[in-house]
Amino acid sequence: MKFSYSALIGLFILFLTGFPVSEELIAQSRQLEAESAVTTEGQVTIKGERVRYEATAGTQPVWGEDGNPVASLFYVYYRKTDVSDVANRPLVFSFNGGPGSASVWMHIGYTGPRFLKIDDEGNPVQPYGVVENNHSILDVADIVYIDPVNTGFSRILSEDADRDDFFGVNADIAYLAEWIDNFVTRHGRWTSPKYLKGESYGTTRVSGLARRLQSAHWMFVNGVILVSPTGLGLEPPAMTPRSQILKLPYYAATAWYHDALSNDLQQRDLYDILPEVEQFTIDEYLPAVAKGGMLNSAERERIAETVSRYSGIDKQHILDYNLTIPTSFYWKELLRDEGLTVGRLDSRYRGIDRMNAGTSYDHDPALTAWNHAFTPAINYYLREVLGYETDLQYNIFGPVRPWDNSNDNTGIDLRRAMGENPFLHVMVQSGYYDGATDYFSAKYVLWNMDRSGRVQDRLRFEGYRSGHMMYLRQEDLATSNEHIREFIRESTTNGESARY
């Protein structure tokens, strides 16, 4: 976005005369234009081949009922330039979560052509900035990174706009579906295979979008990629006994990583341990806790002993919490003897609290580390590399509260969309050390999305030895992007018919 002509004249006058520029002229640089676009050219080496592309950073309106813009969404659109036939060129729409999070995380941390400077395990590196992402999916698909209202540079424009039209599960899905419809029309991509990719709350968003685009816009997508998914209305609510029981495989992975298991378990590989813990969780742990006070003392002791063995938490704590372990207590307790906590979003990270006592940590050491790297990198990249000029603050996390969570059953919407669309495939990507949206609960969501077992051939699960943002670990960045490539190729039918 460029300054208006009058603003540039004002700045020129300031340079010549030394007189201050009016507040009105300065304010113009802090206002979002309903429509804008700055296009630059770039290239990146992916899998040994040079990929040339155009990057358009811009804004596109959200239209009100009266035909005037009520908000404007900031986006970055990457288009491979040597493609002659876009009819067969996949197009991916990418969102992050929150709600209230910008698309920065997957943009410069996962699938885009530039990757922030961090070490191989995801820790910050100074000076901050970006490098080529040699694992980007731009070789197989064009990508649009979208910032919902009040995130990134996206803002409400009209004083008469109703916040309820943006900040809620259904409202969010409705206006974004219309925005995607407009984008596809403007860029001539109706014939392209289309994909929706969301992380964390973004998985709630794209699950609902898959159905909304079909039912209200007659736009059928080929695939939905759920990165570290929420419960989608299918997982037990947080802090209920069943939700805490499903965390046990995650606890086992975290304890294994920190060498907190008994020697016989610690000497085995993680992939060897997890199936055993998963089976115990479903076959014994869930049924035992379901009995509540009816569970006899001998069985209670046996379950507590096994949970302690797999979680690394003392047996007495398991009994004191009636056989289930709250996540907040786990993050504080596991390494308490060392004076350390473990992270929520990625439990490989360790933190230091002001005191060793207590039942919850002071901060999430994983998120704190990531904010160090992402915030300066995205501001540098958008402004200085892509040339988008504005004095607006880029909201990594924006003000979207209160948020209407009613009708949060987008997993059911996604399953219905799969029933109506035989081309639609779904892939889940989860990190074993993610304590916010743990991997075993993600499996539970997939099982309950398809209780009939009729669409199992179109569901795929992939796990990684990292956390919520599995792509920040260099090894998993390569693997997870390759899984997306495979998923896109497998779900793009190239004219072959799909039928039940």
Reduce the secondary structure of 4-58 to three states and give it as a string.
CHHHHHHHHHHHHHCCCCCHHHHHHCCCCCCCEEEEEEEEEEECCEEEEEEEEEE
Instruction: Take residue 160 and report the two structure tokens written for it.
Output: 């008469």
**pLDDT greater than 60 at residue 405:** yes
Kindly state whether residues 79 and 2 are assigned to the same domain.
no
Kindly state whether residues 225 and 113 are assigned to the same domain.
yes
The pLDDT value given to residue 395: 96
**pLDDT greater than 60 at residue 24:** no
Counting the structural domains of the chain, the total is 3
Kindly state whether residues 149 and 223 are assigned to the same domain.
yes
Give a yes or no: residue 499 inside a domain: no
**pLDDT greater than 90 at residue 326:** yes
Kindly state whether residues 332 and 403 are assigned to the same domain.
no
Closest among 110, 106, 101, 130 to 118, alpha carbons compared = 130
Kindly state whether residues 111 and 7 are assigned to the same domain.
no
Neighbours of 473 (CB within 10 A): 24
Where does a domain end: 363, 395, 423?
363
The pLDDT value given to residue 16: 39
The pLDDT value given to residue 242: 86
DSSP 397: B
Where does a domain end: 342, 363, 384?
363
The pLDDT value given to residue 367: 86
**Average pLDDT of span 4-27:** 40
Report the mean per-residue pLDDT for the chain: 91
Residues 217, 219, 225, 227, Cα dihedral to 10° = -20
The pLDDT value given to residue 493: 67
Phi, psi of 395 (to 5 degrees): -80, 100
The pLDDT value given to residue 500: 58
**pLDDT greater than 70 at residue 216:** yes
Instruction: Take residue 497 and report the two structure tokens written for it.
Output: 């018919």
The pLDDT value given to residue 311: 98
Report the predicted TM-score, pTM, of the whole model to 2 decimal places.
Answer: 0.92
The share of the chain scoring above pLDDT 70, in percent, equals: 92
**Average pLDDT of span 378-395:** 96
The share of the chain scoring above pLDDT 90, in percent, equals: 81
Q: For residue range 418-447, what is the model confidence (pLDDT) as tens digits?
A: 999 999 999 999 999 999 999 999 999 999
Q: For residue range 267-304, what is the model confidence (pLDDT) as tens digits?
A: 999 999 999 999 999 999 999 999 999 999 999 999 99
Give a yes or no: residue 121 inside a domain: yes
Kindly state whether residues 84 and 223 are assigned to the same domain.
yes
Residue 266: give the domain boundaries: 241-363
Give a yes or no: residue 203 inside a domain: yes
The pLDDT value given to residue 315: 98
Kindly state whether residues 378 and 456 are assigned to the same domain.
yes
- 324 vs 307: CA distance, rounded Å: 9
Q: For residue range 143-165, what is the model confidence (pLDDT) as tens digits?
A: 999 999 999 999 999 888 899 99
Q: Which helix H or strand E contains 378, and what residues bound it? A: helix 365-380
What band does 13 get if pLDDT is binned at 50, 70 and 90? very low
Residues 6+ apart with CB under 8 A from 68: 158
Classified as helix, coil or strand, 224 is strand
Kindly state whether residues 69 and 215 are assigned to the same domain.
yes
Give a yes or no: residue 497 inside a domain: no
Give a yes or no: residue 45 inside a domain: yes
Cis peptide before 422 (omega within 30 of 0): no
The pLDDT value given to residue 402: 94
Give a yes or no: residue 96 inside a domain: yes
Lowest mean pLDDT, pick from 30-39, 94-103, 478-487 = 30-39
**pLDDT greater than 70 at residue 21:** no
**pLDDT greater than 50 at residue 15:** no
Give a yes or no: residue 175 inside a domain: yes
Kindly state whether residues 161 and 306 are assigned to the same domain.
no
Kindly state whether residues 75 and 39 are assigned to the same domain.
yes
Where does a domain end: 363, 397, 430?
363
- Where does residue 312 fall: left (phi above 0), alpha (psi -120 to 50 degrees), or beta otherwise? left
Q: Which class for 24: exposed (0-12), middle (13-18), buried (19 or more C-beta within 10 A)? A: exposed
Kindly state whether residues 17 and 60 are assigned to the same domain.
no
The upper half-sphere exposure of residue 157, i.e. CA atoms within 13 Å in the direction of its Cβ, equals 20
Kindly state whether residues 6 and 70 are assigned to the same domain.
no
**Average pLDDT of span 210-220:** 97
- 416 vs 205: CA distance, rounded Å: 15
What band does 495 get if pLDDT is binned at 50, 70 and 90? very low
Give a yes or no: residue 498 inside a domain: no
| CATH code assigned at 205 | 3.40.50.1820
**pLDDT greater than 60 at residue 118:** yes
